[in-house]
Amino acid sequence: RAVIGLHQYIAKYLAGRGSRARPKIVIAHDVRHFSRHFCELAASTWTRLGGEAVIFDGPRSTPQLSFTVRHLKAHTGAVITASHNPPHDNGFKAYFDDGAQVTPPHDKGIITEVDAVPLSAVHEFLTKDLAQVVTLGRQADDDYLAAAAQAALDPGIFKRTPLRVVYTNIHGVGGVSSVPLLLHAGVQVTEVPEQVAFDARFPTVKSPNPENAEAMALAVALAERGGHDLVMATDPDGDRMGAGVRNRAGRMELLTGNQIGALLADYRIAKYKELGWIPAKGTDRACIVKTFVTTPLQDAIGRGHGVKVINTLTGFKWIAGKMRGYENALGKAMGPGFDYDATPFRERAALLQQHSTFYLFGTEESYGYLPNDLLRDKDGNSACLMFAEVCAWVKARGLTVPEYLDEIYLKYGFFLEGVINLYYEGASGTAKIKRILDTYRSAPPTAFGDTKVTRFQDFGREKFHDADNELIPAQDLYLVTLGNGYSFAARGSGTEPKMKFYLFATEPVKDAASLPAAKAKAQATLDALKALMEADARKRAEG
Catalytic positions are: 83
Strands 230-234 and 252-254: unpaired
Q: What is the largest CA-CA distance in the chain?
A: 71
DSSP strand pairing (52-55 vs 134-135):
parallel
Cβ neighbours, 10 Å, residue 245 = 26
Within its chain, how far is the Cα of 279 from the centroid? Answer: 27
Whether the Cβ atoms of residue 235 and residue 380 lie closer than 8 Å to each other: yes
**Which residues 6+ apart lie within 8 Å of 37 measured at CB?**
none
Conformational region of residue 242, where left means phi above 0, alpha means psi within -120 to 50, and beta covers everything else: beta
Q: Is 196 exposed, middle or buried (0-12, 13-18, 19+ CB in 10 A)?
A: middle
With beta carbons less than 8 A apart as the criterion, state whether 372 and 150 touch: yes
> Does residue 162 have a cis peptide bond before it, meaning omega lies within 30 degrees of 0?
no
Distance between CA atoms of 474 and 71, rounded to whole angstroms?
32
List, in sequence order, the alpha helices (H) in 419-514: 426-442
- For 440, counting Cβ atoms within 10 Å of its Cβ (0-12 exposed, 13-18 middle, 19+ buried), the class is buried
Phi and psi dihedrals of 230, rounded to 5? -155, 145
- DSSP-based three-state secondary structure for 418: strand
Instruction: Show the beta-strand stretches assigned E in 247-405.
Output: 252-254, 283-291, 307-312, 358-364, 368-370
Contacts 24+ apart (CB under 8 A), 342-346: 345/150, 345/372, 345/374, 346/277
* 250 burial via Cβ count (<10 Å: 0-12, 13-18, 19+): exposed
Question: Does residue 97 contact residue 509 with C-beta atoms inside 8 Å?
Answer: no
Q: CA-CA distance, 64 to 510, in Å (whole number)?
A: 45
What DSSP assignment string belongs to 27-79?
EEE-SSTTHHHHHHHHHHHHHHTT-EEEE-SS---HHHHHHHHHHTT-SEEEE
CA 232/CA 218 separation, integer angstroms: 11
Q: Give strand pairing partners of 337.
A: none
153's CB contacts (< 8 A; 6+ apart) are: 268, 271, 272, 275, 389
Q: Which amino acid is at 271?
A: K
Q: Say if residues 385 and 184 touch (Cβ distance below 8 Å).
A: no
